[in-house]
Amino acid sequence: MAEILVAAAPWRPLLHSALQSNSHIRHASYFQLATVAANGRPSNRTVVFRGFRHGSDTIQINTDSRTRKIEEIRLCPYGEVCWYFTESWEQFRLSGKIEIVDGSNTDPLKLQLREKSWFSSSLKSRNQYLGPSPGLPHLNEERHEEPLLDQSTGPVPAFCLLLLDPEQVDYLNLKSNKRLIFISRQTDESNYCWVEEVTDKNG
């Protein structure tokens, strides 16, 4: 195993380029998020990429606090995203710690993030958090129900923002047969850098 030290997140340009070359495809912003259930078995479901937290590599996902993944993340706060781009044949596996940001969060900056993510969603998507039980995953922004909330209403209690902070990114390009692994390494208390790993082990 060889290591090359790199400063900024070197996988971001790769992901940016994959998102751009697949931007005409609706499902390019969908990925599969794996977590671990209370019984120690894996869980896996499709969720929607809601962008990066400004100025960071943190991935944002909206979800309903009443879904199973929330119970799972409370017990085991780790996830692995598998993001396969069907047009460019690229796969990103991003693993790291997940933080749950609901209305009970005590950090004003986190609550602000949650609010921002709420208002970035369509009104139809926001209404899915109002039902007596969690709605279907919020892939479909074009639901046909009548909106129940007005534009100015802030996040409802069930609305939850997940923040996944990647610690390792495994990139695979099936057209060029290129594979790259990036690992985040703590350099001191508040800083980290990305290291590129050369490995012969695969998924």
Q: Could you list the residues that contact a second copy (CB under 8 A)?
A: 25-27, 30, 32-36, 40-46, 64, 66-69, 76, 78-82, 84, 86, 89, 91, 93, 95, 132-137, 139-140, 143, 172, 174-175, 177, 179, 200-203
- Which of 11/84 has CB closer to a second copy? 84
The Cα 57–Cα 116 span in angstroms is 17
Residue 200 beta carbon to a second copy: minimum distance, rounded to whole angstroms: 4
Cβ at position 43, least distance to a second copy in Å: 6
Q: How far is the CB of 109 from a second copy (least distance, A)?
A: 27
| Spatial CB neighbours of 73, under 8 Å, sequence gap ≥ 6 | 35, 79, 98, 100, 162
| Distances in whole angstroms, Cα of residue 194 to Cα of each of 51, 57, 71, 187, 191 | 20, 11, 31, 10, 10
Q: Which is nearer to a second copy, 72 or 111 (CB)?
A: 72
Minimum Å gap between C-beta 2 and a second copy is 14
Nearer to a second copy, 25 or 109 (CB): 25
Nearer to a second copy, 46 or 112 (CB): 46
Closer to a second copy by CB, 34 or 183: give it: 34
Residue 63 to residues 17, 84, 141, 143, 167, Cα–Cα distance (Å): 26, 21, 14, 17, 22
> Which of these, 180, 203, 172, lies nearest to 9 by C-alpha position?
180
Least separation in angstroms between CB 31 and a second copy: 8
HSE toward the beta carbon, residue 183, CA cutoff 13 A: 13
